[in-house]
Structure 1
Amino acid sequence: MSFPPLDTALPAGVDAREHALMLRRMHDASVSGRPVPGARLRPVIEDSWNRMRRFGIDPDAGPPTRVISPDELHRRRQESPIAEVLPLIRRSLVSVADEADHIMLVTDASGQVLWRDGSHRIRTIGDRVGLVEGAYWNEGSTGTNAIGTALVVGRPVQVYSAEHFVRSLHSLTCACAPVHDPRDGRLLGAVDVTGPVATVHPSTLALVSAVAQLAEAHLQSIHHTHLERLRAVSAPLLAGVRERALVVDETGWTAAVANMEPVRRVLLPKHRESGTAWLPALGECSLEPLPGGWLVRPRSGEDAAPSTVTLDLSGPAPAVTVEGSSGSWAHRPTPRHAELLLLLAVNRSGRTAAQLSHDVFGAVGHVVTVRAELSRLRRHLGGLVESRPYRFSEDVVVRIVLPEFPPDVLPGSDAPGVRELRSRMGSSDRLIPLGVEFAT
């Protein structure tokens, strides 16, 4: 697998001290409303600063630090999926951070610091600026910083010196990479390394990014082990089943099937119980609980579709909720699937593969990739998304929940079609299509 090049804060061959001075001149000019002299900010920083202005963040003071109680911190640590891979993260980063005069931080998806390790001297500095366990370090709480900005854009980010919007953070350099659930792309949190501004180095971002990918791979391995265990437990049961059936784990991932084509994953109702439910990929099904999962039996000819699909873009990660007479189901789309769902939602008459290729990649030469992504998406949302052209079914109401600032819709997306939508949503003309509801 190939990964895009990392956007490091320090350009190659540039003197770090001179670059920091230039950034401070740019910061002073920007916050005072004067034209910014010299080179432009990196796009990821410029976009973040624009968000800070809309949030009303004071660059001279910043918001007061919000810290939760020790009991609440303990509860959130226990609930975090990252806790399963914390020993691996610590082995990979703590000794390096300590020797390099850095601290390592692990956050949840909201940017709240759950764990902190590393240099005692830098932990003391962190105490002074509120970089402590239990504190929120999303952009709305602390301004532009590697943790908050990486969680917004969904990719590794390094922030150096005066790229921080709040002046009290100009003495720091930090590199952060988000950690996603490998099963469904859901944002779980982030891994960050922070140190004094003099210690900036491009390799820090590469290291943090590699550790985040290692953590995701380990989570994937844990999931495969669980499915293997569930497959072994359910084998005697499926051996005696004559009709179509499948065994899935608590999150809908398939462990085993009988008398039917495999389905990688099904969306289970939010509130699961024995009985009958409509499942997007299978239609009407009966559900029976198993240790660690569910036995699902599809029923032929009973596939009435639900009435409402909600694409929630207001939080740190997109979410899809499907609602109907048999209950409701939740799904975390990948960033690419979120782009496609948004584009289909605002084009209810449909888009061809070539049109979506242009919307997502800026050219029509990626039709095969678009079709493959939509095939995966339709396996999750069967009956809701149709083809030829690709579109939401006519009898489905699509509801889009926008963030507080509509131009921040999918801020990590570079897709031309999404950028155009952000521009339109920033004006008074939203061009709301028939059958689509917007909410904030």
Structure 2
Amino acid sequence: MDAETVTDAPTALHLASDPAAQFEVLQQVRDATLSGAHAQFSPRPVISESWQRSLAAHIDPDDFRPPIVYAPDEVADVRDAHPLHAVLPTLRDLLGSIADESRHVMIVTDAEGTILWREGPANLCSQADPVGLCEGTGWSERAIGTNAMGTALAVDAPVQIYSAEHLVKTYHGWTCAAAPIHDPDTGDLLGAIDVSGLLDTLHPATVSLVNATAQLAESHLRRRMEWLDGQLLTKNMPHLARLRGEPGALLTPTGRVIAADRLGRLPKRVAVDADRVLLDDGREAHVEPLPEGYLLRLRTTTATRRPTLELSFLGDNPAAVMNGRALPLTLRRAEILALLALHPAGLTAEQLALQLYGDDGNPTTVRAEIHRLRGQLGGDVMRAKPYQLRVEVEADFLRVRLALNSGDVAAAVEACPAPLLSRSDAPAIRAEREQLVAAVRTAVIGHPDPDVLWTFAQSETGRDDVEVFEHLTRRLPADDPRRAVASARLEWLLGED
């Protein structure tokens, strides 16, 4: 609800006129209302209701004592840890210059109405300090009565408070506009953004600007949340893969579902305050904490579980896990498994020989190697004519391809720290390795986010790439400490040439 639209009093209709005249009208309305006398005009509903809440909290209309919630030496640590710290540059860009140019201060509070940031002209800040309009003080309605910050948080809507609409008389010389900011993950209030000025300096349209800024801040937080979801998904997908066919889901630290496998219909959020939860359809699920987030799983009977083969083949040391059991691998057997994973429809002995050895490949050699490999895996895991894996395959190199195909470049980079089977000389593996690296590199260089480029530059495939570091030195901001690192690395790479 937009609180500013809830008005039917003549007073509200004339607030854009002479501020001094309106101050007298508003003061008469306030004094008459508080004394129980008849007023010529009624206060706006949002103001009347706020006054009632404030008086019920025993706020003295003729005195002021904004509580000091945080001492000056505590404020910095509190705001560094606050979620709105991430959007402060956005708020400054939109409101900071306006505040400086039009004799306003920009204020950001937490969800309790405590001021964490206040920025504006020095002369106005010096007038705000004596009345407690400064960092560390509490401005909820229950702490200091009707004011834009506290009332916006109380009604969860943008509000503009004019002069004598403040319950406490001390603030009748001030006019302010504020809007709440919400957490895009939980929907909870994070705090409020406020612009405050002296009686004759704040335009009635300011509340619309403040509200638009709050919405932009929420949009920024949502994009950041989605980026963090992608990072979390990349880190935790192996946990979901290791369920070996059991229904499961990955949850954020707040219980929001970001990935699910064979779970059917799921709520968007799951309670994570216990190790077992009951889903909406009556199914019982187990919640297991991960280093970041949670794994939700529904256990099924052994007979219904699908066997899973996990392949970690990016790098020098290939590893395979079959239903939780590590398999000893030679490089040649890793190559065979990689090729069969890349060709789910299967390959003949002749095709495998060509892809492993080139034109000189011998199908008999391949058959002997596969015979030993089937002994390790179990006869029902691989069929012949053609050779084909009959299990669910979870492979790191396949996840990279999947991320690229879905357009998630950041996830692809996170999932690709090294080339496929780095020590392999098999023609087909070498071709797949080069194509995968080239695809990731092309996607990264064309991606607008320098963080993605930086992540690629730290990988085995990107750390010696001159062009990557040239792009980094151009894209990273001058004040980003990574730019100096990238410049030094580029200089060293060029020196090596």
1:266 corresponds to: 269
- TM, length-normalised to structure 1: 0.62
**Which one-letter code corresponds to 1:265 in the other structure?**
K
Q: How does 1:125-274 map to 2 (within 5 A)?
A: 125-239=127-241, 241-261=244-264, 263-270=266-273
Distance 1:4 1:132 in 2: 25
- The equivalent of 1:28 in structure 2 is 31
* Larger-gyration structure (1/2): 2
Residues 258, 126 of structure 1: alpha-carbon distance in 2 compared, 3 angstrom cutoff: same
Summarize deviations over 1:321-369 as a string: whole Å, max 9, x none.
xxxxxxxxxxxxxxxxxxxxxxxxxxxxxxxxxxxxxxxxxxxxxxxxx
What amino acid maps onto 2:292 in structure 1? G
Instruction: Give the deviation of 1:217 after TM superposition.
Output: 0.8
Rounded Cα–Cα distance in structure 2 between residues aligned with 1:126 and 1:155 = 24
Identity %: 41
Q: Give the structure-2-normalised TM-score.
A: 0.55
2:52 pairs, out of 50, 53, 57, with: 50
> How far apart are the structure 2 equivalents of 1:138 and 1:3?
19
> Aligned partners of 1:77, 1:254: CA distance in 2, in Å?
29
Q: Deviations over 1:43-80 (max 9, x none)?
A: 00011111222222221113354342234323321332
Q: How far has the Cα of 1:16 moved from its partner? A: 3.0
Is the Cα contact below 8 Å between 1:250 and 1:293 reproduced in 2? yes
Provide the residue aligned with 2:277 in structure 1: 278
1:32 Cα deviation (Å)? 2.9
Shift of 1:203: 1.5
Q: Give the CA deviation at 1:24.
A: 1.0
AA partner of residue 38 (structure 2): P
1:252-401 superposed matches below 5 A: 252-261=255-264, 263-270=266-273, 276-281=275-280, 283-299=283-299
Alignment check: 8 A CA contact 2:3 2:159 kept: no
* Structure 1 residue 122, shift from structure 2 partner: 1.5
Q: Whole-Å Cα distance in 2 between the matches of residues 64 and 87 of structure 1?
A: 27
Structure-2 separation of matches of 1:221 and 1:6: 29
Per the TM alignment, residue 10 of structure 1 is displaced from its structure 2 partner at its CA by 5.0
Offset at residue 35 of structure 1 (A): 1.7
Asked if the contact 2:193–2:214 (Cα under 8 Å) also holds between the matched residues in 1, the reply is yes
Query: How many correspondences in the alignment?
Result: 295
Q: Is the 8 A contact 2:248 2:260 kept in 1?
A: yes
Cα shift at 1:90: 1.4
Q: Distance in 2 between matches of 1:209 and 1:7?
A: 16
TM-superposed CA distance for 1:232, in Å, is 2.6
SS of 1:263's equivalent in the other structure is coil
Deviation at 1:299, TM superposition (A): 4.2
* CA pair 254-299 structure 1, distance change in 2 beyond 3 A: same
Structure 1 residues 49 and 296: CA distance shift in structure 2, 3 A: same
For the 8 Å contact 1:16–1:200, the answer to whether it is kept is: no
Q: Is the 8 A contact 1:108 1:190 kept in 2?
A: yes
Q: Secondary structure at the match of 2:179?
A: strand
For residues 161 and 228 of structure 1, do their structure 2 counterparts lie closer, same or farther at Cα, with a shift above 3 Å needed?
same
Which structure 2 residues correspond to residues 415-430 of structure 1 after superposition, within 5 A?
none
User: Given the superposition, is the C-alpha separation of residues 264 and 231 from structure 1 closer, same or farther in structure 2, using an over 3 Å criterion?
Assistant: farther
Greater fraction helix: 2
Which position in structure 2 is the counterpart of 1:123? 125
Bigger strand share: 1
> Residue 198 of structure 1 aligns to a residue in which SS?
coil
CA distance in 2, matches of 1:10, 1:204: 15
Task: Quote the Cα distance in structure 2 between the aligned partners of 1:261 and 1:86.
Answer: 40
Residues 300 and 127 of structure 1, relative CA distance in 2, 3 Å threshold: same
- Residue 300 and residue 187 in structure 1: after superposition, are their counterparts in 2 closer, same or farther (change >3 A)? farther
SS in 1 for 2:205: helix
Q: How much is the aligned-residue C-alpha RMSD, in angstroms? A: 2.5
Structure 1 spans left out of the alignment, 5+ residues: 302-440
* Structure 1 equivalent of residue 418 of structure 2: none
Q: Conserved in 1, the CA contact under 8 Å of 2:184 and 2:222?
A: yes
Quote how far apart the aligned CAs of 1:25 are: 1.2
Asked whether the 8 Å contact 1:10–1:201 carries over to 2, the reply is no
Q: CA deviation at 1:184?
A: 2.1
Q: CA–CA distance in 1 between the matches of 2:58 and 2:288?
A: 51
> Aligned in 2, Cα 1:67/1:236: closer, same or farther, shift over 3 Å?
closer
Higher relative contact order (CA 8 A, sep 6+): 1
